[in-house]
Chain A
Amino acid sequence: MSYSLVLLMSIFTFILFMTVIYLLRKRKIPVKYALIWIFSIIFILLLLLVPNLMENIADLLGFELLSNMVLCLFLGLLMFISIALTVMIASQKKKTTILIQEISILKQIINDIDNNKL
């Protein structure tokens, strides 16, 4: 892998890392959701910084080009993260539905009590 590519990816990973830390410090995201990103970053750094690791793995897995493996790797990582996000959204939706139902029933009951008093 060329040095310029390693440099570029290192810069990219560093920016990603700083972004996650920034979001954490500003309390925009809880640690629970940041962990998946931090692990991903550590994984990428490992690949970048151990010399010839990437080349050897690519060879082993039968990738003709190193860049193909890097692309595949990122694609897999992103798909995994989006599935995790879909699960989170679904659970949020479920909770919102319950809240809407319970609040609406409560409003009806309060209205009932008000009308009986008057």
Chain B
Amino acid sequence: MKILLIIPAYNEESNILYVINSINEYKKKNKELNLDYVVINDCSTDNTGKILDENNIIHIDLVHNLGIGGAVQTGYKYSYYKNYDIAIQYDGDGQHDINYLKNIIQPIIDNNADFVIGSRFIDNVSSFKTSFSRRLGINILSFFIKLVCGKKIYDTTSGFRAANKDIIKLFANDYPIEYPEPITSVEVIKRKFRLKEVAVNMKSRVAGKSSIHSWKSVYYMINVCLSILITGSRRYK
């Protein structure tokens, strides 16, 4: 099975090499996996592009900044064109633990799921420490998703996710540009695909700032909740 790691990166000059090195080490240890990666450089204004060039890391430079949704969708388009069997979203900031890769793709290999979310909040595997307000936000989103599609998702904003061929095709053609993580979950369930959550470990950020700032979070929450309700109210064939 051809597997592709999609690594969106925006101004990650201090993290990206660490991320790529950990993936290369993992590849050496697990030679049976047919694992490739592609970094999507979302028009970074720091040295991310230069680092990617100098170290011969396979990457796509977006010609304009698209934001996380547009960057990740580029990765799905790439995996669709290159005919990958599994695509995995993997953050470029060092938060995700590559050693959980097999956990996250196993349900797809066993054909038990079409789409797998790596979750911080089940089984207590994760050492991830998160603030009360962030936890509250994630629970609210969880409630809204349960409301519109009747399935509980514990980690609604996880960016560590694996998709099979059907989902790759779906996302290559249509991917929400705003608030992609919770919205895609709703869409996947509404389209009657099998979604599964598995426990993964996530570290706190190695360096740099997260893209979600506290003063914007109320506005963010209103936006996402409304998006979930709208997405949930659409009819799917």
Residue numbers of A with Cβ under 8 A of B are 96-97, 100-105, 107-108
Contact = CB atoms under 8 A, between A and B. Distances in A.
B77 A100 contact: no
B70 A100 contact: yes
A30 to B, nearest CB: 25
Interface residues of chain A: helix, strand, loop or mixed (majority): helix
B157 interface: no
B66 A100 contact: yes
Given A101-B70, A101-B73, A101-B77, 8 more contacts: A96-B64, A100-B64, A101-B62, A104-B63, A105-B77, A107-B61, A108-B38, A108-B78
A32 to B, nearest CB: 26
Interface in B149-189: 177
What are the nearest 6 A-B pairs in CB distance?
A: A108-B60, A101-B74, A104-B62, A100-B64, A104-B60, A97-B70
B196 interface: no
Contacts of A101: 62, 66, 70, 73-74, 77
Interface residues of B, number: 16
Nearest to B172: A101
B81 interface: yes
B59 interface: yes
B63 A100 contact: yes
Interface in B47-84: 58-64, 66, 70, 73-74, 77-78, 81
Contact of A108 (B59, B64, B66): B59
13 contacts: A97-B70, A97-B73, A100-B62, A100-B63, A101-B74, A101-B77, A104-B60, A104-B61, A104-B63, A104-B74, A105-B60, A107-B60, A108-B58
Interface in B84-130: none
Contacts of A96: 64
Contacts of B58: 108
